[in-house]
Every structure is written in structure tokens, then in C-alpha cells.
Amino acid sequence: MATVQAEKPPAEAERAGLKANAIGFLDALVIGLASTAPAYSLAAVMGTLAVVVGVQAPAALLASFIPMFFIAAAFYYMNRADPDAGTTFSWVTRAMGPWLGWIGGWAIITTGILVVGSLADVGARYTYELFGWEAAAGSKTAIMALAVAYIVVMTAICIIGTELAAGLQDVLIVIQVGALLLFAGVALYKVYDGTAPEGSTRPEADWLTPFASSDFSTLVSALRNGIYIY
């Protein structure tokens, strides 16, 4: 009886899937840091957090880290037990059914769309202000046009390749964090040098204590803003 040998898969099929070692640990760390959008958080959310809880904003951020730590730990162990690019959608579907899995996946996609739009909006506005184009910075049409252009360019970079996207993130995170450190350093220098604007105050240890706030509802509202930053 003749035996039928299985056909050898074509070379294209063998190469299918993600490229091995395309992203190293440092690249993954940088992408993770960039995902929290430090500069965007300061520009778009930190002001609201300060209005809600005042000088207890650092404490709110520390307290907000606790639930985020457990979420990160859950993702870590779930990825070890059942690696899946679908993450929440796939895991919740297997554990609790397709309906809840769909809700989880839909929520992540929706928030991603909203956040990307917000990031581009803030980036466009501050780009105009950086070059002194105040009229454009105050124009919704101009801001929307530049924001859409940013989204198109970033999407194209992601399509071209992960390595290019990771390399760009390396550069952007250095610029982003460097600017924030410079901003914070100058602010602290002026406060301790006595040249800060009127109403400025020196940092105190109590700012790092979440329970220094006497109003529980205010603390909860601050935690919500802090979790959004993370």
C-alpha cells in the first residue's frame, strides 16, 4: 500500500507569526512606560487631581498604585499560565463566558480609541504653542487636523514594523521624561530658592500620606483620577 507523505509547509507558512526577539526587555520596559503617557498625564489629568485633593495628589498617586499593582500581577501570572494576545477578552471568555469576555474586550478597545484621540488632541495643541502659533492652538479645526495627522503617522509606523515603533518609543520616552524631570527640577529649585511665584509652597512629608485627607469621598475621587493616570 502506498504511503502518502504530508506536504512540507511552504517557507511563508514557516515564517508566519511574530518575529523572534524583535523586542527586548528594555524596549518592552520603554513601551510600558510610554503607555502611561507621563507628559500627557501631567498636562491633562494632574491639574484635575490637584483641584480635587490639593497637595495630597502625590498620596493619591501612591494609593492608586495598589490596585494597578494587583492588576499587573494578575496579567503576569495569567500570561505565564495561558499566554494569549487577546488577554482580557480571551481569559474572561474562558472563565466567565463569551458575553463578559466581549464586554471586557469592547471596553479595552473603546478606552484605547478615546485615549488615542485625547493624546493626539493634547499633543497637537501643545505643538502649536511650542512654535508660538496661538491662533492655531485656539482653533478646534487646526487642532483636529494636526491630531488626525499624528494618528495617521503613528499608525503607519506601527504597520511598518514593531522594531521601528519600539525605536521611536525609546527616543520619545527620553524626551518626555527628560522634559518632566527638567520641569520638576526647576520648580523645586525656585521653591527652595525663594523665587517661585506667590502662593508656592515647599513639599512636605504629609503629601505622601493618603489618610491625611479627612474627606473619604474626595479621596475616592482622587483615586479614580490616579488610576486613570496609570
Does the structure show a pLDDT above 90 at 165? no
Kindly state the average pLDDT of the residues 47-65: 85
| 41: Cα separation from own chain's centroid | 8
pLDDT band at 1 (very low <50, low <70, confident <90, very high): very low
Give CA–CA dist 86/84, Å, rounded: 5
Could you tell me the three cell numbers for 54? Answer: 490639593
Does the structure show a pLDDT above 70 at 14? no
Task: Give the DSSP H or E segment for 211.
Answer: none
Closest CA to 43 of 222, 180, 186, 199: 180
Give CA–CA dist 102/222, Å, rounded: 29
- 105 neighbors 88 (Cβ within 8 angstroms): yes
Q: Which of 20-24, 111-115, 203-207 has the lowest mean pLDDT?
A: 20-24
Could you tell me the three cell numbers for 74? Answer: 494578575
- 148 neighbors 120 (Cβ within 8 angstroms): yes
Phi-psi region of 19 (alpha: psi -120 to 50; beta: other; left: phi over 0): beta
User: What pLDDT score does 4 carry?
Assistant: 47
Alpha helices in the chain (DSSP H): 11-14, 25-35, 38-44, 46-53, 57-81, 88-96, 98-130, 134-137, 140-160, 162-193, 216-229
- 128 neighbors 146 (Cβ within 8 angstroms): yes
Q: What is the pTM of this model?
A: 0.64
Kindly state the average pLDDT of the residues 165-185: 84
- Give the number of residues written for the chain: 230
Does the structure show a pLDDT above 60 at 154? yes
User: What pLDDT score does 22 carry?
Assistant: 67
Mean pLDDT in the chain?
81
Residues 6+ apart with CB under 8 A from 172: 34
pLDDT tens digits along 208-220: 887 777 677 888 8
Give CA–CA dist 18/181, Å, rounded: 35
Neighbours of 141 (CB within 10 A): 8
Neighbours of 60 (CB within 10 A): 28
